[in-house]
Amino acid sequence: MARVWTWLREDIWEIRFRRYVALTLVAALVGLGVWGGMTAAKENRSCAPGVVQPKGSDECVGVSWTTYAFRRPQFAETIRAINRENHRLSPGSYVTVALLEPFTASDADNLGDVLHELQGAYLAQYQANHDTTGLKPKIRLVLANPGATGAHWRHTVDQLERMTKGPDRLRAVTGVGLSTDNNKKAVQELTRRGIPVIGSSITADDLANGQDGKDPFPGLARVSPTNTDEARALASFAKVSAADAFLVYDRTGDPYTRTLQRSFEKMLKGSRYEAQPFTPPADRSKEGSTANVFAQVSNILCNTPKTTDTVLFAGRHTQLRQFINALGARGCVDRRFTVLTGDEGSYLAGDKDLDPAALKDPLLTVRYTALAHPDAWPKDAARTGGSAADAKVLRDLLASAAREPAGPIGKVGLDDGQLIIAYDAMRLAVHGIRGASPTGKVPALRDVGLQWPQVKGKQLRVNGASGWICLDAHGNPYDKAVPIVELTPDSRTRFVRIAWPEGKPPAKECLPPS
């Protein structure tokens, strides 16, 4: 009994000693101001439910399902509309789709892009949930932010994976945004974990399956053509002569610019001129010193024969704007030039830093391949590959979204094509989810991504507002309509005509060849 009492006294003494040490340590930290700072930092790291501020960052990243607008007031009305729609859903009746976009972007071009994709995804969600057929499951929409440059993609991907296993029943991720290295990593990791992804505006060839017969992103589908297909459509429209064309390209490159450069190089086999590189800042939305380089490139162009009148530009929109400004101030004012580029050209409409004098120059024309355009399907056009009726469905939705119950959703813009293409991407996501479960029950996660090879033919294609979406065995759109758009002297967009990667629209069956 004495031995037991000795052990008990020792235990009591040890407990008291540990408490004394802990309290002394806390007192010391408080005295130094460390404890309060640690506690405050821990408490302040949460921005909203599901959204946190990582250490060393001023961004709030993660997945939001509330009215939180990532401190971007222009998103607020659309996000409130999404929140109202989500709250109309009864428990157990829905699956979740996440829209992955850089919601904390800071430059005006990317913010406009994100707003329009947000609006397009919501309109497709609302349409799916209020369809008169009563199809199920219903769709809940959440917002996934990997950061302005996608730097926090891993945090957001981890969170999305957890949402596949719980009551959220996450079944697809759509959006993705620009074709950047970070977004490529995010898509690779999402699909590796079995989460289906539907890319809206990604066009880089190396962010697509089927290249060299390989599928590095199992479960990835896209609604936009690859850069190669855009270049093929551009070539069929412009009849580019390799002998009379000149290539300007981003030397360091990202997935978009690299694959656009390669696609243009294929068009220019046998060109008499060496391609001219430029080196932009790591953040291609910044000005850097490339304007000086483009002033020199314009002088080089002036030294070419007058038959050289086409410039293919493989770069992002900030550098494209600088290049156009430089061409507007070229010394050879009597020379005609046509600049042809990819869908980054859509950002130039309304760009306040674009020199108005450059676009007013009658001898300078800027044309680009758009992802979509509101004027692409006129009422009197009888053609395959898309229709005025399909485009009208979205216009009617937009009209209803001006007020409750569907809206309001804020200021809407269609000319950049982002709202249209995001709407089509969400419609494809819904198509895959419901196709994986004809009974309306919650489908297995991996079964959704298995639907993409069957999205073709009259009955199973998606009749998008941007054109028919008929997917090949790798999840890529076959012979997708590519609007050719021209910048007008008042910095607006003018639809020129639709071009096709195959040189002609698909047959009414819309079946990719072997």
Give the tokens for residue 119. 């609006």
Tell me the per-residue pLDDT of 389-435, one tens digit each, with 9 for 90 and over.
999 999 999 999 999 999 999 999 999 999 999 999 999 999 999 99
Contact between 137 and 434 under an 8 Å Cβ cutoff? The reply is yes
Tell me the per-residue pLDDT of 448-499, one tens digit each, with 9 for 90 and over.
999 999 999 999 999 999 999 999 999 999 999 999 999 999 888 999 999 9
Non-local CB neighbours of 476 within 8 Å, separated by 6+ positions? 208, 209, 210, 221, 222, 225, 226
Amino acid 375: pLDDT: 94
Q: Amino acid letter at 28?
A: A
**What architecture is domain 51-224+377-478?**
3-Layer(aba) Sandwich (3.40)
Amino acid 5: pLDDT: 41
Amino acid 15: pLDDT: 45
Contact between 117 and 101 under an 8 Å Cβ cutoff? The reply is yes
Does residue 75 have a pLDDT over 50? yes
Non-local CB neighbours of 301 within 8 Å, separated by 6+ positions? 246, 308, 311, 327, 330, 332, 335, 337
Q: Within 13 Å, how many C-alpha atoms sit on residue 482's CB side?
A: 32
Tell me the per-residue pLDDT of 326-377, one tens digit each, with 9 for 90 and over.
999 999 999 999 999 999 999 888 888 999 899 899 999 999 999 999 999 9
Tell me the per-residue pLDDT of 262-304, one tens digit each, with 9 for 90 and over.
999 988 888 888 999 999 998 888 899 999 999 999 999 999 9
Mean per-residue pLDDT, 18-40: 49
Measured CA to CA, the distance from residue 374 to residue 420 in angstroms comes to: 8
Nearest Cα residue to 247 out of 230, 270, 280: 270
Does residue 61 have a pLDDT over 50? yes
pTM: 0.88
Nearest Cα residue to 248 out of 281, 273, 266, 226: 273
Measured CA to CA, the distance from residue 260 to residue 315 in angstroms comes to: 8
Mean per-residue pLDDT, 309-325: 95
Mean per-residue pLDDT, 24-29: 50
Measured CA to CA, the distance from residue 204 to residue 213 in angstroms comes to: 16
Directed axis angle between helix 108-129 and helix 418-435, to 10°? Answer: 40
Measured CA to CA, the distance from residue 9 to residue 13 in angstroms comes to: 6
Contact between 230 and 482 under an 8 Å Cβ cutoff? The reply is yes
Give the tokens for residue 254. 């990202």
DSSP secondary structure string, 415-468? TTSHHHHHHHHHHHHHHHHHHT-TTSSPPPHHHHHTTGGG--HHHHSEEETTEE
Q: Within 13 Å, how many C-alpha atoms sit on residue 345's CB side?
A: 32
Sheet holding 276-278, edge to edge: 276-278, 245-250, 310-314, 337-341, 364-369, 482-487, 493-499
Nearest Cα residue to 148 out of 121, 177, 172, 189: 177
Q: Amino acid letter at 501?
A: P
Amino acid 28: pLDDT: 52
Contact between 106 and 160 under an 8 Å Cβ cutoff? The reply is no
Q: Does domain 228-369 have CATH number 3.40.50.2300?
A: yes
3-state secondary structure at position 47 = strand
Contact between 152 and 183 under an 8 Å Cβ cutoff? The reply is no
Residue whose entry in the numeric block shows the structure tokens 């000086």: 292
Measured CA to CA, the distance from residue 81 to residue 126 in angstroms comes to: 9
From the number of C-beta atoms within 10 Å of its C-beta (0-12, 13-18, 19+), residue 105 rates as: buried
Amino acid 514: pLDDT: 82
Q: Where in the chain is the domain with CATH 3.40.50.2300?
A: 51-224+377-478, 228-369
The DSSP secondary-structure symbol of 98 reads: E
Better-scored residue on pLDDT, 203 or 8: 203
